[in-house]
Chains A and B, each alone.
Chain A
Amino acid sequence: MTLLTLHAVRLLGFADTQTVAARFFQEPGLVESQLIDAGVNGLVSHSTFAGISGWSLSSLGRTENERLLAEELDRTQARQAVLAVHDDFADINTGVVEACSAIQLHTQASEDAMDVLMGALASWRPLEAELTGVLPRCEGYAERLLRALKHAVQDTAWLTATDRDSFHRVWFELHEDLIATLGIQRR
């Protein structure tokens, strides 16, 4: 079982084989066989849930994912760099969740929310460059965040919706990636 396949399931939460393979640009046939093997070993399960079929991590799979991520951090000697990125991300994250909440609640702060999110993306770009310098698999978040903001100019659902690759959905996934990589618990 490769780290990338298991980690894709972790980040996506619940997804079909094609989506899991696409997350890290892997070959779908290979990923399917890895997922089947992982299922036999109790690391993932395939189920139909909320009207859709897909793969999800078991608790055992989550533990194995975290073991592989820790091994990756040791191998790449990236722990300090990722910790520094996470600390800076946490500062930006506060503004992002405030802005997303303001948009949903239509408070006065929502007028500035788009600027806040654009600022967050600008702040994230150099952090992604630092991160991908040590962990290339982390590339792509800035591009997806930008795509969401571009769509949001026409349709503000792209800021917080859960049914598309919205700004918040990408940001939430990025947050999960950072804390999973570092093996820290969500507070």
Chain B
Amino acid sequence: MTILIGVGASTGTAHGFARLIHGPDDFTQFQSGDVLVCRTTDPAWTPLFSMASAVVTETGGMLSHAAIVAREFGIPAVLGVRDALDLLADGESLAIDGARGTVTLMDSE
């Protein structure tokens, strides 16, 4: 089982398919219930949070804007996961634990 570790910035657990979003051009690929995986976010990304089951970012931490927005939507967030965009692939089944700060690849179990 592969587990990636980051900062648990918004509590809760979720399962979903990884959707790697590199920029606004990828937004329309995002489906409701997907796990948002990205480098960082800015205000343009807020609508994605409303559809996401969880958020995983390469940057940020407990005190970042992404953490605050994730808490508002009540979805788990694991931030500061180094190289998440390289280590995760589109469509992989993930289990997110926003309290422990873990991202578990379910396919590799």
Whether B43 and A173, one on each chain, are in contact in the complex, defined by CB atoms closer than 8 angstroms, is yes
Chain A residue contacts of B5, Cβ below 8 A: none
Given contacts A56-B44, A101-B68, A162-B49, contact A186 B73 (CB under 8 A): no
Whether A172 and B65, one on each chain, are in contact in the complex, defined by CB atoms closer than 8 angstroms, is yes
- Interface of A, secondary structure class, is helix
* B67 contacts partner chain A, Cβ-Cβ < 8 Å: yes
Partner of A58, one of B25, B40, B45, B67: B25
Given contacts A11-B43, A13-B47, A162-B73, contact A104 B59 (CB under 8 A): no
Whether B47 and A59, one on each chain, are in contact in the complex, defined by CB atoms closer than 8 angstroms, is no
Partner of B23, one of A59, A94, A104, A160: A59
Give the complex CA separation of A162 and B59 in angstroms. Answer: 21
Whether A161 and B72, one on each chain, are in contact in the complex, defined by CB atoms closer than 8 angstroms, is yes
Given contacts A13-B43, A186-B42, contact A50 B51 (CB under 8 A): yes
* A32 contacts partner chain B, Cβ-Cβ < 8 Å: no
Interface positions, chain B 22-42, Cβ under 8 Å from A, are 23-25, 27-28, 40, 42
Q: How many residues of B contact A (CB 8 A)?
A: 27
* B64 contacts partner chain A, Cβ-Cβ < 8 Å: yes
Chain A residue contacts of B23, Cβ below 8 A: 59, 62
Chain B residue contacts of A168, Cβ below 8 A: 65, 68
* A75 contacts partner chain B, Cβ-Cβ < 8 Å: no
Whether A13 and B72, one on each chain, are in contact in the complex, defined by CB atoms closer than 8 angstroms, is no
Residue positions of B touching A, CB distance < 8 A: 23-25, 27-28, 40, 42-51, 59, 62-65, 67-69, 71-73
